[in-house]
Structure 1
């Protein structure tokens, strides 16, 4: 088992490399300054995948996890589950519906960063699509120097033109076979200009990490029938009432976490600043089940 880690460019990497020096752990050099909802998250993921495929371990499974994810099954059960399902990819794939607000925001509109803080983004329709509120927001962003000349090149249009007929969405945490990752990276490289122009350079897609790999995988599946997909192996609670979502799990969630179905191998999210005991309790509980 090998670990490839991307440390945000805003962080001091020596805080990590000084503590973790195992031979199977690699901190990648191509680091990115990641911003919530920004294409920078996709670039960081691509950099990770490019490093992983250099191993040429063609029979491997590639698990994409964040620093706020944690296993809720023993490693032996995780391994057994992935071996038994070696022919499958695990990712949530839901087709966007054109009437969804998120479809309008993330496919039809342009994303402008108001600041680099979480969720502080604005959505603009193309300027030739008449909308009084849209013009007002545009003028406000322009006055506050949030709109550049490059932005104007994209905004001065009647319609934002997608490079895909359909867009798919889902959690950005996935488990792919090595060969599938190779196919995805080849597709990105072959179509790099139009993909990057759409998502990044001119069109400013919001939360691209929650549709980028999903949509590309579905494009590949049109002609590659060997790819079979099952839902994500992450447990994420988006339904709990009266709390910030997704749920940040605490000690009182222990039984809920360790009793998830066999196909849910990881949970998110966790924050040691909020609860620094839950992870140790998970370790103890799942080890006692062995």
Structure 2
């Protein structure tokens, strides 16, 4: 595996102070740098200049559940591959994520990793009998039988099957949008232009395209990468929640037991103590592993 720097891509839209603190933690690593895609329609972002921080030019306004989030992912991956050819890994986080391990420990694990990618994913095949979780049935309807109403949050069921790109050996996968991809995997995904163009066109009116695009691209390239079924994110979901729980002190025991790289997600304004608690947790884990 390449020993080049790790690019941590940050998709942000609010709370400049929280994003600045996240960037500081990322750049504490000996071989990491931050790539910021800040939503121009969000709150203004003010970060100090640094040789370890790059701000993506001409960022894309992003809306939750829309193709714009996928386009922002794609734009930043292309930027990293074009401008930092020696990078070793690309990790995607949001401005509300926060490391629960020291970046030096994350760098060390990725440098010695036998995997080409870390993703949380599930295959959505044509046979419902193969499903192991309800999410697969939901996403089968979402990506094969539904269409988002333009300029609306609604999606409607179609009376016929949509002609989709998941055919001729291309499988449908769903998972978290938060990825960890090695440089060779990024190159393979970016080189699969015909597949990416078909998926981007098809997902234009999909209900939530960000939960399938990177997973489907990564798991369909050839030769097949060695993908760990783990996004390396601590995410806690409640029943029938559209968004993850906000991290509080109550999550510390689970965070301490987790081998995740980042916790998702924090709100500094609602819980101002959390960044300090997570910094101490990272220090504790470094001391105990040493």
TM-score of the superposed pair, with normalisation by structure 1: 0.76
Alignment of structure 1 residues 268-279 onto 2, 5 Å: 268-279=264-275
Match of 2:142 among 105, 113, 118: 105
- Partner deviation per Cα, 1:54-90 (whole Å, 9 max, x = no partner): 2344451111111111111122221221122154310
Task: Find the counterpart in structure 2 of residue 182 from structure 1.
Answer: 187
Gaps of 5+ in 2: 1-31, 129-136
Q: Which residue of 2 aligns with 1:51?
A: 79
Aligned counterpart, 2:199 = 195
The corresponding residue for 1:255 is 253
Matched, 1:285 2:281: yes
- The answer to whether the 8 Å contact 1:163/1:194 transfers is yes
Q: 1:134 is matched with which residue?
A: none
Partner of 1:141: none
Distance of 1:47 and 1:30 partners within structure 2: 10
Alignment CA distance shift 1:93-1:236 (3 Å): same
Pairs aligned (count): 242
Query: 157, 172, 183: which is aligned to 1:125?
Result: 157
1:210 maps to 2:211: yes
**In structure 2, what is the equivalent of residue 4 of structure 1?**
35
* Residue of structure 2 equivalent to 1:74: 102
Which has more strand, going by share of residues? 2
Residue ranges of structure 1 left out of the alignment (5+ in a row): 116-120, 130-157
RMSD between superposed Cα atoms in Å: 2.2
Question: Aligned-pair distance for 1:244?
Answer: 7.2
Partner Cα distance (1:95, 1:243) in 2: 22
Shift of 1:114: 5.4
Structure 1 Cα separation of the partners of residues 86 and 107 of structure 2: 16
Cα deviation, 1:206-238, whole Å, max 9, x if unaligned, reads 211100111112221xx304x100021111112
- Structure 1, residues 134-180: CA drift from partner, whole Å, max 9, x if none? xxxxxxxxxxxxxxxxxxxxxxxx32111113310111111101121
User: Aligned-pair distance for 1:256?
Assistant: 2.3
Larger Rg: 1
CA–CA distance in structure 2, aligned partners of residues 234 and 179 of structure 1: 22
CA contact (8 A) 1:254 1:278 kept: no
